[in-house]
Amino acid sequence: MQTIRYELIPAQDGAGQVALITFDEQGSPVNTMCQQWQDDLGEATARVLADRDRLGGALKGIVLASAKSSFFAGADLKATMRLQPEDAPAVFREIERMKKHFRTLETLGIPVVACLNGSALGGGWEVALIAHHRIAVNDRKTRFGLPEVTLGLLPGATGITKMTRLLGLMAAQPLILEGKTFGPAEAQQMGLVHQLVDTREELLPAALAHIAAHPEAQQPWDAKDYRMPGGAPTSPKIANALVVAPAMLTKTTRGRYPAPEAALAAMVEGALVDYDTALRIESRYLARLMTSPVARNMINTFFFDMNAIKAGKSRPAGVARFKPTKVGILGAGMMGAGIAWAQASRGIETVLKDVDQDKADKGRAYSEKLAAKRVEKGRMKPEAAQELLARITPTASAADLAGCELIIEAVFENRELKAQVTREAEPQLAEGGFFASNTSTLPISGLAQASARPEKFIGIHFFSPVDKMKLVEIIRGRQTDDETVARAFDYVQALAKIPIVVNDSRGFYTSRTFGTFVMEGAAMLSEGIPAAVIENAAMQAGMPVGPLAVLDETALTLSVHVMEQTRADFAAEGRQYQATPGELLVERMVKEFQRPGRAGGGGFYDYPEGGKKHLWPRLRELFEKPGVEWDVQDIQDRLLYRQAIETARCLAEGVLTSVHDANIGSIFGIGFPAWTGGAMQFIYGMGVDAFLRRVDELAERHGDGFALDDRAREAIRAHQPQY
């Protein structure tokens, strides 16, 4: 066997033997349910049966263990990426074959004990559930659970059936439908782990002791008096809750994510039948999901692309790791205050500077407010909150920035102002330090002209609100050196955020692509399509909010300011900037109708005090055209394709250098629907040829914004991932 070691070891009393099954996939840092493991599991099960027949009552039990630093990682996702819908019947048979081995081991009448030396997620947790008794090392870094829905799958290797029978329908829902994970101590509280030990070395002795004390064992659902915790689906209390569950789920998924809906169906249907029938129901749902495009999209991005970023694939190699200890921030407004919180939360000493002490103090007060909320909810101890706040020094003096390894300016989007604060603060950097701008649109190479060391100048673009948004876009200027890019990457990871690396361009990647989404929405309004149709179509496609609502939140005045700055830049270069229909409509909203956005009292929406926001009634008379024809699918395609097209252009132009940065950046930065796997996976998921045919149709009907030149088409094909 290549992935499993099998041996007989003496039982605790020396009067019998225990089968020790150690998972040890060769050439891999983790154990996975690869095809070889599935074959080896069959062989290991056969050896257990043979030893039981040979030894009789002398085979006292079975121990499941791992030779890796974790217990078991789960399914072989590369193999899953190669599956097609026609593979579903074969996938179903393989799932059933594996579960047959699980069932054989747990119904021998002897105790099976799992020694959980580290994390067991997804299929790994389902392997642990074979055991009647689970012992875990009490390490807070260890995680257990079933996060399959986050990858477009469901826990179909007994996970749904067993967790529902262990916890009950209602208690199991957050763990299955939301993929919530948990640590060893929480697992023990829920009854999912039965015993905790302090070290890995204590696991096997504890397992042997349990086997000696419990010579017979069966799973709870195999007992004659078993009753499902909380009640079966037919009980009035559960039935009433289940009536609204599908509607609540659809409200969240908008029908775009089949995995949670299939998981809920498998839970309820499985709870109405016997255990073995429930397993078959679960297998059928999993086989269907595993061969679906949504699962491939989500696995590609949330597993492979995310791991590529975590592993530093976008980080320049050969540069020593940087651990920030003191970082300065220029500007204590919304962005600066948010960055200060993010830094102080991760133990970084933070100097928060503004033009006067009062403004700096207000910036620190933002962290005080966030900390107080966490203390109130029991998520933070008061002393931890005080330690965090003590790391933030509000000041009006540039001298207090002395010794900072990094200074980030987060002032208003004005080139002259940014140049002024750069020249003032840069001399305070520690030796070897570097400077960053938090600009969302202005080219970094231009801003670096104010720097005495442009090779140590970089863009670090946070997203608002900083305390909630995980993505940070790192922008390399024309003169930025590799060391600065690598140190910026390390800084972002030190904040427990997700870094993507892009090259300099107006709007970089995220702002540039985000602009196409909101301006396409505004353009459709200018064509006479009803605002409510545009907004609802966007959300049904999977965008978090509609384009008009987003424009309101980010301020229509900001969009106008960016457009005016762009016009001025073009004029300085002797060129004329051609505004898009969407930009012209937004300009009218601000200048003609005095609708600056939410912060200014209203934009496309009205915001009544104490009431729910609603679309500005005058939109109908000003822009909507009763006779205009529209189609929901066409509207959704315009919104999604426009972003994917701009992403492909960024890839062709070298603004983006990798597909993983594009996919992760589009989802976590601009809210591109997760079911697509991101803006580039949206293309690959539907097939390049089909995508390009639809692009040509959209370009013919809706203009050059949808036109893709040969260079972009070649880039799409050249970057297509292979599995």
Residues contacting 269, CB < 8 A, separation 6+? 278, 281
Instruction: List beta partners, residue 327.
Output: 350, 406
The number of C-alpha atoms within 13 Å of 470 and in the hemisphere containing its C-beta is 11
Separation between Cα atoms, residue 65 and residue 306, nearest integer Å: 28
Looking at 106, 126, 282, 473, which residue is catalytic? 126
Where do we find the tokens 């009393």? 13
- Smallest CA-to-CA distance from 339 within 255, 413, 252, 407 is with 407
| Cα separation values, 449 from 474, 479, 668, Å | 18, 10, 30
* Three-class secondary structure assignment of 639-657: HHHHHHHHHHHHHHHCCCC
Asked whether 340 and 389 are in contact (CB, 8 A), the reply is no
Dihedrals φ, ψ of 663, to 5°? -65, -50
Dihedrals φ, ψ of 22, to 5°? -110, 120
Active site residue 426: no
Buried b (16+ CB within 10 A) or exposed e, 641-672: bbbbbbbbbbbbeebbbbbbbbbbbbbbbbbb
Asked whether 290 and 91 are in contact (CB, 8 A), the reply is yes
Buried b (16+ CB within 10 A) or exposed e, 561-584: bbbebbeebeeeeeeeeeebbbbe
Residues contacting 367, CB < 8 A, separation 6+? 337, 340, 341, 344, 388, 389, 392
Enter the DSSP assignment of 274: -
CA geometry: angle 559, 563, 567, nearest 5 deg? 170
Active site residue 202: no
CA geometry: angle 697, 703, 704, nearest 5 deg? 105
Separation between Cα atoms, residue 289 and residue 279, nearest integer Å: 15
Buried b (16+ CB within 10 A) or exposed e, 379-408: ebeeeebeebbebbbbbeebebbeebbbbb
Looking at 25, 106, 148, 282, which residue is catalytic? 148
* Preceding omega of 465 cis (within 30 degrees of 0): yes
Provide the strand spans (E) within 34-167. 59-66, 74-75, 112-116, 120-121, 133-137, 144-145
Instruction: List beta partners, residue 203.
Output: none
| Catalytic center residues | 126, 148
